[in-house]
Structure 1
Amino acid sequence: MTMPTAKTMLTAYQRQVRVASAAGMAGLDEQARLAGTIRALLDVVNDDHDPRR
């Protein structure tokens, strides 16, 4: 089994945040829990696609 790419993981976590957002106040904990992970994945994805390289 291969590891998913950072972009695949980012998409999955962003989907979870959208679902949590739809849950209103009940989804705030989930959004807060995933925020750091999503920021880290965004850094990895952005570094992989840095046009300055």
Structure 2
Amino acid sequence: MREDLTFEQIAEILGEPIGTVKSNGKRALAKIKKTLKGMYIDERTKPI
């Protein structure tokens, strides 16, 4: 997986407008966060 591509490069590769690439990325990140929420406890959320 390549993580060094800009939104502009991704849009060009996919043949999609940059706005579409950004909104799809934001939507995917939100889905990942929702899926992972509650699967771990970090120092900030650890019960006392």
TM over 0.5: no
More helix by share: 1
Q: Which is greater in Rg?
A: 2
TM-score normalised by length of structure 2: 0.43
